[in-house]
Structure 1
Amino acid sequence: MNKKNPAPAIWYVLALWISLLGACQPASVKNDPNNRALAKVHNKTLYLADLEGMIPAETSSEDSAQIINAYIERWVRDAALMYEAERNVPKDLNIDKLVRDYRASLIRHTYEKILIEQLLDSTVTTKQLTDYYKDNEDQFKLGSDIARCRFIQLPKRAPDLARFEKLWKSDKVEDFQLMVAYCNDLAVAKLLDDSLWYGLPELQAQWPGNPGELSSVQPGKKITRRDENFIYYFQMGQVIREKESAPLSYVAEQIKKMILHQRKMKLFDETRENMYQDALKRNQVSVYQN
């Protein structure tokens, strides 16, 4: 059976790993009589000098020995694995190029983070959210039903359930506040803010009734179901069906991320172009054509 080569990302990590673990001590350090060898695996040797700076000055001799022994145990295993990795690296793999590419990627990523922290405007106003939503509403069609609703899961043996049932059935504001306090203490799960939108499939997954039952509940209606251990309460509010446009409040966080992503890309493109133009002005750009 032909073996497939590992994904390119694996070889990037391996290249960096080989570059780091394969680094050798200078000959002058190796020949230092005070720098004794601690371990050897195949052609790799771990020297005492390799552990320099690893142990804090105030560490006891016993703790130092434990730290050194633990490091040696890790090192010999890593070295054994690296030996096999080097033997099995594809012959056409350019380790040096992978290390250069990976290093460049890390540097670029770090610089982009600096640009974001220093220059990116991370404030997204309500108007910007609304404008983006209006201009791209077709992108925000629902993949499933959502609803404003209330959902409560209580243990069957929860205390004073009769009192809770009265609070649940009541429409008085003061009774709702008492119910919230009860749920904060005893509910296994609760969704009590009916100004928020919730995915009905996610709620249905926790519901003991028939599949799809929650989607068929009429707005304003309250239902109760039981299983072996729990009692479930559900009240339907406003419903928006699959394939209809999601309300702005439901996708606001998603839109914010999209706006910020666009700003990041614009910032990177503008910075790249400005640096290029600056290099041109300084005569630091040369293009050699065939």
Structure 2
Amino acid sequence: MTGSIMLFMSSCDLFKMKNEQADTDDAIVATVGNANLYHSDIDHISREMSPDLDSAELVNRYIQSWVKKQLVIREASQNLTLNEAEINRKLLDYRYALIAYEFEKNYVEKTLDKDVTQKEIEEYYTNNNQNFALKEIIVRTNFVKLEKNIPQRRQLERLLNRNSESQKEELKEFAIRYANNYFMEDSTWINFDDIILNTPLTKNNNHVQLLRNEKLIHVDDETYAYYFKILEYRLQDQVPPLEFVKDEISKIIVNKRRAEIAEKLKRDIYNNALENNEFTIYE
């Protein structure tokens, strides 16, 4: 058990919240009844905000929000019979829940190992790949958009139908020189709906049949020609390749570690207190 955990398990009387002394020079910004909003309550806004944002606007919004809340509280206190004991109990519960949450969050983040190995990712994928069933069609593809009437279209078709390392370089050079738009990350899996956006293929309602029947898809509109060389695809409800879900799996593994550390922390605190007779449960 670490020293920080032992300190946390001490009597609640030893746990001191931050409490700044009242500053008589602290200007009042707004007042509602007996409640005051001080300049020190809002100066953090300017310190923490991005330089690109309007600090005056944010401060004004904060003040307006504070005033509205105070007015609702005042209205409620005048029209409701409040159970002070119940309110105080809820405030105390919230206070200690917040203390516990901040302690747990800080401890977990200091302890957490966020590095995930390729082996861990592959093992998780093997054991859980059915949980990643696709909700959309994904493809590996080369995509080129160019003006419909340029004579280099035949050259492009020949390049797209070849399959060699030299072809990849020639295709990229062609796209840089002639294309209005292109996508050459042929090792990257991408949502099919994303790659065909703003092309005539969006009007085709049978993408499954299209992908099964055509390796080189070519469509025209009034101005442009669109070419899609489909290298590989996965359909809805199929299991995606590891590369497509690698980042998601890494996040899942890290989050599992986070949850395990938090649970172990609670167990260790309880067992340490039990071992040292720091609490009593009466029959």
TM bracket, shorter-chain basis: 0.5 to 0.7
Deviation at 1:222, TM superposition (A): 2.0
Which of 271, 277, 281 lines up with 1:277 in the alignment?
A: 271
Deviation at 1:149, TM superposition (A): 1.4
Q: Structure 1, unaligned stretches of length 5 or more? A: 1-24, 56-66
Find out whether 1:166 has 2:155 as its counterpart. yes
The letter for the 1-side match of 2:39 is L
Shift in alpha-carbon separation, 1:111–1:221, aligned structure 2, 3 A: same
Aligned counterparts, 1:125-140, within 5 A: 125-140=117-132
Deviation per CA, 1:223-281: give whole Å up to 9, x if none.
Answer: 23334565432111122222222222222222222222221111111111011111122
Q: Which moved more, 1:253-262 or 1:184-193?
A: 184-193
SS at match of 1:237: strand
Which of 221, 236, 247 lines up with 1:242 in the alignment?
A: 236
Q: Which moved more, 1:210-219 or 1:136-145?
A: 210-219
The letter for the 2-side match of 1:198 is I
Give the aligned partner of residue 69 of structure 2. Answer: 82
Distance between the aligned counterparts of 1:217 and 1:123, measured in 2? 37
Give the aligned partner of residue 207 of structure 1. Answer: 199
Higher-RCO chain (CA-CA 8 Å, sequence separation at least 6): 2
The letter for the 1-side match of 2:204 is P
Find out whether 1:196 has 2:188 as its counterpart. yes
TM-score by length of 2: 0.65
Deviation per CA, 1:177-199: give whole Å up to 9, x if none.
Answer: 25435646886654322222222
Distance between the aligned counterparts of 2:231 and 2:190, measured in 1? 11
Deviation at 1:112, TM superposition (A): 3.4
Distance between the aligned counterparts of 1:277 and 1:51, measured in 2? 45
Q: Which moved more, 1:95-104 or 1:69-78?
A: 69-78
Which of 156, 177, 185 lines up with 2:169 in the alignment?
A: 177
Is the 1:152–1:189 contact (alpha carbons within 8 Å) kept by the matching residues of 2?
Answer: yes
Deviation at 1:51, TM superposition (A): 3.2
Deviation per CA, 1:110-150: give whole Å up to 9, x if none.
Answer: 33343333222222222222222222232222223322212
Shift in alpha-carbon separation, 1:37–1:262, aligned structure 2, 3 A: closer
Shift in alpha-carbon separation, 1:182–1:110, aligned structure 2, 3 A: farther
Identity level (%):
22
Shift in alpha-carbon separation, 1:190–1:207, aligned structure 2, 3 A: same
Find out whether 1:123 has 2:115 as its counterpart. yes
Distance between the aligned counterparts of 1:70 and 1:218, measured in 2? 55
Distance between the aligned counterparts of 1:111 and 1:132, measured in 2? 30
Find out whether 1:221 has 2:210 as its counterpart. no
Q: Structure 2, unaligned stretches of length 5 or more? A: 1-20, 44-54
Aligned length: 242
SS at match of 2:144: strand
Deviation at 1:52, TM superposition (A): 6.0
Distance between the aligned counterparts of 1:247 and 1:35, measured in 2? 60
SS at match of 1:288: coil
Find out whether 1:51 has 2:39 as its counterpart. yes
Shift in alpha-carbon separation, 1:225–1:54, aligned structure 2, 3 A: same
Is the 1:164–1:182 contact (alpha carbons within 8 Å) kept by the matching residues of 2?
Answer: no
Which of 251, 254, 257 lines up with 2:248 in the alignment?
A: 254
